[in-house]
A and B are shown apart, each in its own frame.
Chain A
Amino acid sequence: MNRYSKQIQLHQIGESGQTKLENARVLIIGAGGLGCAVLPYLASAGVGTLGIIDGDKIEKSNLHRQVLYTQNSTGQLKVEEAADRLKEMNESLKVELYREFLSAENALKIISNYDLVVDATDSIAVRYLINDACVVAEKTFVYASVFKFEGQVSVFNYKNSPTYRCLFGEKAQAVQNCEEAGVMGPTVGLIGMLQANEVIKIITGAGEILSGKLLVYDTLSNKQHTFSFQKNDELKIDHDFFRKKHLKENIQETTPSEALSGRKLLVDVRELHETPEIQMKDLIRIPLSGLEESIHLLDKNFELRLFCQSGIRSMKALKILEKNGFQNLKSIKGGAREILKTLNDEKEYIH
């Protein structure tokens, strides 16, 4: 008898749903309270590959709610202990372990390897990181969080639906996580189970997904509420946004090679008498001193690359344009001098 026959006989699942589960690659971020509920049920349901990322070791005070672990496993790495337990449950499961915490440096690389992500973490800061990485990598993620006897569940970025930032904005602040506030095992277990349920529905296409909806469950009263929320269309979470928020690189500058490639419009913000003049097809001269009055000459849809002599005035020009709603902008590092050097290599445009 097929070990999955009892779920296959559900018409919403069937053989095709089971195959989808077996082909799925799901990343669970966090092997704590939520993770310990999500992981065994996904493993047992036949999800083909589970990625687990967590840098923590098992502590005694985890055991009351992190039920994958035993009193003999304290001091061990959570991901290793979890993997051992899960493989005992289902030998056909493939487990991919990351013995570290999710970070700005590894998030995009790790998340892009999976079809679906589960946020089973315990800090709001990392939830923003997960949100932004998932939006950039175009992955849906199943969110949940717990406070004492209550929990929240939602599915973000499902078919371009709202995200965590659409819901809580820029400034969500932790009041307390489970370690600080306290929690009962059944509460975090129930909420993690709701996450596992959403994962299965997403993969198999069964039922309704909690997309654009926040489910809030109170285990003390057994009351639940589902609140709707909208996508924030003004928010553009792309690589630049990710770098600005999490990597703090200077994303406003670029190289001459980048500026000269593709369909970009170069904007020379030097005064008109300044040399050396650079003549090329997609170039317009608008001195910085007259930029504010000449903004109407520029189209916001173009990719603009600004330059001056060395790169200082072009940064000023960039700030002015940003204030006027331009987004597709970069300042060319090294200015006209560097552009000429690059063009010299191509020996075409020198006046």
Chain B
Amino acid sequence: MGAPDENLKKTNMIHIKYFGAIAEVTNCTSEKLESKTYSLKEIIQEINKKYELKHIPLKYALNQNIVDKVEGIEISENDEIAVLPPFAGG
């Protein structure tokens, strides 16, 4: 009997949607992400790192609800995160 193998830890399948100028940076309007973390904050850090989004002010929605702060929010399997920039034009 060995210790639990970290590599077998369950990953979450999360759906991410991108809008506006963000979708141009990511080159897609949606993608599926497999993440080992349950923390919304950490998932966003993963996305930011992947696409270098750090410096653009953004809002995030979890299952269609925009969150005020990303800290302290846990996500579950098949949750949907939306990355929302404000639009300017008119």
Name the A residues within 8 Å of B19 (CB-CB).
150, 216, 218
Question: Which residues of A from 189 to 228 have beta carbons under 8 Å from B?
Answer: 214, 216, 218, 221, 223, 225-228
- Chain B: minimal CB distance from A331 (Å): 33
Bound: A341/B88 CA distance, A: 52
Name the B residues within 8 Å of A121 (CB-CB).
90
A-B contact pairs, 17 of them (CB 8 A): A32-B90, A34-B90, A35-B90, A145-B86, A146-B90, A147-B20, A152-B87, A167-B59, A168-B86, A171-B57, A176-B88, A223-B29, A225-B17, A226-B64, A227-B66, A227-B82, A232-B68
| Interface residues of A, dominant DSSP | mixed
B84 located at the interface, meaning its Cβ lies under 8 Å from any Cβ of chain A in the complex: yes
| Most chain A CB within a 10 A radius of its CB, from B19, B29, B57, B86 | B86
Q: Contact check, A227 vs B84: say whether CB atoms are below 8 A apart.
A: yes
Name the A residues within 8 Å of B68 (CB-CB).
230, 232
A172 located at the interface, meaning its Cβ lies under 8 Å from any Cβ of chain B in the complex: yes
**A-B residue pairs, 9 tightest by C-beta:** A178-B89, A145-B87, A174-B88, A175-B21, A229-B66, A146-B89, A147-B87, A122-B90, A172-B86
**Contact surface of B with A, Cβ cutoff 8 Å:** 17, 19-21, 29, 56-57, 59, 61, 64-66, 68, 82, 84-90
Residue of B59, B82, B87 near A150 (CB, 8 A) is: B87
Name the B residues within 8 Å of A177 (CB-CB).
88-90
Interface string of A171-188 (1 = CB under 8 A from B): 111111111010100001
Name the B residues within 8 Å of A146 (CB-CB).
87, 89-90
- Chain A: minimal CB distance from B83 (Å): 11
- Chain B: minimal CB distance from A224 (Å): 11
Name the B residues within 8 Å of A33 (CB-CB).
89-90
- Which chain B residue lies CB-closest to A223? B29
Q: Contact check, A225 vs B20: say whether CB atoms are below 8 A apart.
A: no
**Chain A residue total in the interface (Cβ 8 A):** 46
- Chain B: minimal CB distance from A11 (Å): 30
Bound: A227/B59 CA distance, A: 11
Q: Contact check, A167 vs B66: say whether CB atoms are below 8 A apart.
A: yes
Name the A residues within 8 Å of B29 (CB-CB).
218, 221, 223
Name the B residues within 8 Å of A150 (CB-CB).
19-20, 87
Residues A151 and B64 in contact in the complex (CB < 8 Å), given A172-B57, A175-B21, A221-B29: no
A124 located at the interface, meaning its Cβ lies under 8 Å from any Cβ of chain B in the complex: yes
Name the B residues within 8 Å of A16 (CB-CB).
none
Question: Which residues of A from 64 to 84 have beta carbons under 8 Å from B?
Answer: none
- Which chain A residue lies CB-closest to B30? A223
Bound: A176/B59 CA distance, A: 17
Q: Contact check, A228 vs B86: say whether CB atoms are below 8 A apart.
A: no
Bound: A183/B88 CA distance, A: 12
Name the B residues within 8 Å of A216 (CB-CB).
19, 84
Residues A122 and B84 in contact in the complex (CB < 8 Å), given A167-B66, A169-B57, A228-B64: no
Q: Contact check, B90 vs A30: say whether CB atoms are below 8 A apart.
A: yes
Name the B residues within 8 Å of A108 (CB-CB).
none
| Most chain B CB within a 10 A radius of its CB, from A33, A151, A225 | A225
Name the A residues within 8 Å of B90 (CB-CB).
30, 32-35, 119-122, 144-146, 177-178, 188
Q: Contact check, B66 vs A145: say whether CB atoms are below 8 A apart.
A: no
Residue of A145, A169, A230 near B88 (CB, 8 A) is: A145
Residue of A175, A178, A188 near B56 (CB, 8 A) is: A175
Residue of A172, A178, A227 near B61 (CB, 8 A) is: A227
Name the A residues within 8 Å of B66 (CB-CB).
167, 214, 227-230
Bound: A137/B59 CA distance, A: 27
- Chain A: minimal CB distance from B40 (Å): 15
Q: Contact check, B65 vs A173: say whether CB atoms are below 8 A apart.
A: no
Bound: A35/B29 CA distance, A: 28
Bound: A230/B28 CA distance, A: 28
Name the B residues within 8 Å of A30 (CB-CB).
90
